[in-house]
Amino acid sequence: MRWIFPSTQQISSYPGLTPFQAALLARRGIGPAEAERFIRSGIEDMYDPRLMKGATAAAAIISDTIDRQVPITVYGDYDCDGVTGTALLVESLTKLGASVDWYINSRFVEGFGMHPLGIEEIARRGTPRLIISVDNGISAGDAVRRARELGMQVVITDHHEPSEELPPADVIVNPKQAGCAYPEKHLAGVGVAFKVMQILFQAAGRPREILRSLDLVAIGTVADVMPVTGENRIFIKNGLKLINWGNRTRIGLQAIKDAANLKGDVNAHYHLGFIFGPMLNATGRIDGVPAAAVELLLTADRHRAAGLAAQLRKVNEERQELTRRQTEVALTQAQTKMQGTGAPGFIVVYNPAFHEGIVGLIASRLKEVYHRPVLALTDSHEPGVLKGSVRSVKGFSVKEHLIDGCADLLLKGGGHEMAAGCSLIKENLAALCCRLDAAVHQAPADLFVPSVGIDYVLEPKEMDRGLVTQIEEFAPYGAGFPRPNFLLAPFWPEQVRFVGRDGNHLRLSGQGVIAIGFNQAEAFRKANPQGTLALLGLPEINDYDRSVQFRLRNAGWRNLADLPGDIGFPEDVEAAG
């Protein structure tokens, strides 16, 4: 693991901020001129939705459809972004007087994206009809053509990368499409849908009413790993206020909090990403269609919400156990392959027993272990066809190297720079592996060296509640604006203990500081560092006794003597290990 140390260059003046806060913003590329807007992240800082190409035209079609009393179907997706986007559109359109229902593909039948089979099912509900997609549709040429043949209009709202040939929809709303001047390009699908609804509610003279949906936007944005910067930061910060609104919290979200036994305020980096998101994703992963999740977000019945939340919790627990078991199988397979081939290239694992709904989670876990792009594959419901998910590291685009670079070997593919899904004929797998391996070996080697950036150097005497407050003032944290990393030095461990039921956690104490490393006892024993240390982690409040402690990152220690002598530190120094 490479530690990247703070620059010694002079930090610009940030009026009203502490040295740590100024250093953090400077390191994250946020200058003094942008700092006030970044910190405030107020509703007034949102961009005009009419700047988004197609949004005004989409709103006009939707408004006309409502006026003519033509029914509307929301065509969503089965992940958390699609689920929250579906709920947002159904709820918002209902408030505007629309006759609206929704449709989401089965993960295991139609798969991702608007599909002709789905269009046929919607048409059986009656035509004419307007279909509005959310979090999908940008690559659905065949499905859109079929919808129009059947007498339906189609408005696409999506955030995935457009292909060269766009579907023949009545309107496309996607900030990534050519000619779109919208300043924020990295919205989630639910965020794009929200901007269209903003126009409609503004036209109806009810501009603040749509803001009540920011709780859904916040969850979908975090769950889809969108950057917590720009307009997304505004969505998340203000959405969290709604989620933490006491007895005025959305009934379905309160039911999730109760089912997960959450007592305090919900935060973005942990609660939304690791509790709300997975629970709302669970039925879509395991059962194929997230009907219970959509219903939970829309219900006004507290008893029904409690039952649905309990159902999602149970399915999510089953998903967690299945993921654990199948990830172990995938890790063994990857290790066996590397024993024969040496240095890994693009890691591809295939097992017909892998559950189709969790191959993305398997790929994510292997990427964390090996810091390489990973494709996890399983058999689809079609004989001879494999289906899988890929996760990559920053700087290696799977859209470029897999979706575009291997298009001739794929049946279907789509996604983002660092995450995608695809299907292919099994006979093409060997050729695909060779081509992907070559792409990795031709890429700069340092892309595949894990690294962590240090934001601030901290002395033990500076560890106090005030510092934790400074950190919390800059929340929310997440993708694009991760929680800060502190280097605590010099640290002399006066006591080393291995704690927990199995003695697998590390507890260091000294100089008035307690440092905790979960599941790090064995690694510390093997490393056996001596003398004065430098610790890598984050000051935080212990939930149990409310004391301030230092939470270690994995392998978050070095012998101070192994680091540069000046703890001003050069820009980029590689530490051993």
Q: Which residues contact 66 (CB under 8 A, 6 or more apart)?
A: 72, 93, 96, 97, 98
Do the domain assignments include residue 397?
A: yes
User: What is the average pLDDT across 533-551?
Assistant: 91
17 and 55 share one domain: no
Percent of the chain with pLDDT over 70: 96
Task: Please state, in angstroms and rounded to a whole number, the distance separating the CA atoms of residues 231 and 51.
Answer: 13
Mean pLDDT score of the chain: 93
pLDDT at 342 (0 to 100):
63
Residue range 514-526: average pLDDT? 93
- Average pLDDT value for residue range 295-307: 98
**Signed CA dihedral, 94, 96, 98, 104: sign only:** negative
Model confidence band, residue 573 (pLDDT cutoffs 50, 70, 90) = very low
- The pair of structure tokens assigned to 463 is 């560890």
- Among residues 447, 474, 490, the one where a domain terminates is 447
Q: What does the pLDDT average to over 565-570?
A: 50
Task: Identify the H or E element spanning 322.
Answer: helix 302-341
- pLDDT reading at 577 higher than 60: no
Which positions ≥6 away from 86 have C-beta within 8 Å?
74, 76, 77, 102, 104, 134, 294
Range of the domain at 362: 343-447
Average pLDDT over residues 291-295: 97
pLDDT at 216: 99
Give Dmax over CA atoms of the chain in angstroms: 77
Residue 570, domain member (yes or no): no
Q: pLDDT digits over 306-361, tens only?
A: 999 999 999 999 999 999 999 999 999 999 887 766 667 899 999 999 999 999 99
Closest CA to 270 of 297, 311, 240: 240
Would you call the peptide bond into 49 cis, given omega within 30 degrees of 0 as the criterion?
no
What six digits make up the tokens of 405? 């670079």
Confidence of residue 561 (pLDDT cuts 50, 70, 90): confident
Residue 568, pLDDT above cutoff 70: no
Which residues, including other chains, have CB under 8 Å from residue 501's CB and lie 6 or more apart? none
Residue 568 lies in a domain: no
Count structural domains, the chain. 3
Mark whether 141 and 252 lie in a shared domain. yes
**pLDDT given for residue 82 in this prediction:** 98
> Does any domain span residue 324?
no
Q: Is residue 519 located within the same domain as residue 550?
A: yes
| 281 lies in some domain | yes
Tell whether 386 and 277 lie within a shared domain: no
State residue 131's pLDDT score.
Answer: 99
Q: Please indicate, yes or no, whether residues 167 and 265 belong to a single structural domain of this protein.
A: yes
Same domain, 152 and 267: yes
* Under 8 Å between Cβ of 88 and 213: yes
SS3 percent helix, strand, coil of the chain, rounded to 5, is 45, 20, 35
By CB atoms closer than 10 A (0-12, 13-18, 19+), residue 126 is exposed
d(CA 522, CA 506): 8
Q: Give the least confident one: 7-16, 205-214, 420-429, 439-448.
A: 7-16
- CATH number, domain containing residue 431: 3.10.310.30
- pLDDT at residue number 435: 95
pLDDT of 572 reads 36
Return the residue matching tokens 């419901």. 381
Contact 280, 305 (CB under 8 A): no
Same domain, yes or no: 431 and 300 = no
Residue 402 confidence (pLDDT) above 90:
yes
pLDDT band (50, 70, 90) for residue 4: confident
Residue 269 CA to residue 276 CA, distance in Å, equals 11
CA gap 43, 48 in Å, rounded:
11
Does residue 121 share a domain with residue 27?
no
Cα-to-chain-centroid distance, residue 456: 26
Residue type present at position 23: A
Three-class DSSP category at 173: strand
Select the more confidently predicted residue: 209 or 554.
209
Residue 233 CB-half CA count within 13 A:
21
Question: Is residue 404 classed exposed, middle or buried when 0-12, 13-18 and 19+ CB atoms within 10 A define those classes?
Answer: middle
Over residues 31-77, the pLDDT tens digits come to 998 999 999 999 999 999 999 999 999 999 999 999 999 999 999 99
Q: Is residue 428 part of a domain?
A: yes
Is 0.85 topped by the overall pTM? Answer: yes
Q: Looking at the structure, tell me whether residues 494 and 412 fall in a common domain.
A: no
Angle formed by the axes of helices 141-149 and 116-123, nearest 10°: 20
Q: Are residues 256 and 172 in the same domain?
A: yes
Q: At which of 297, 313, 329 does a domain end?
A: 313
Q: Which residue has the higher pLDDT, 155 or 345?
A: 155
CB 378 within 8 A of CB 355: yes
Q: List, for residues 459-511, the tens digit of each pLDDT value.
A: 999 999 999 999 999 999 999 999 999 999 999 999 999 999 899 999 999 99
State residue 9's pLDDT score.
Answer: 60
Q: Is residue 325 part of a domain?
A: no
Say what the pLDDT of residue 201 is. 99
Choose the final residue of a domain: 424, 447, 470: 447
CATH of the domain at 214: 3.90.1640.30
Residue type, 447: L
Residues 224 and 78: beta-carbon distance below 8 Å: no
- Mean of the pLDDT values across residues 224-250? 95
- Asked whether residue 557 falls in the same domain as residue 491, the answer is yes
Q: Which of 200, 271, 268, 277 is nearest to 234 (CA)?
A: 268
CATH at residue 491: 2.40.50.460
> According to the model, what pLDDT value does residue 575 have?
34
Average pLDDT of span 194-207: 98
Residue 410 lies in a domain: yes
> What is the structure's pLDDT at 557?
92
Residue 146 sits in the same domain as residue 99: yes
Q: Is 217:235 a contact under the CB 8 Å cutoff? A: yes
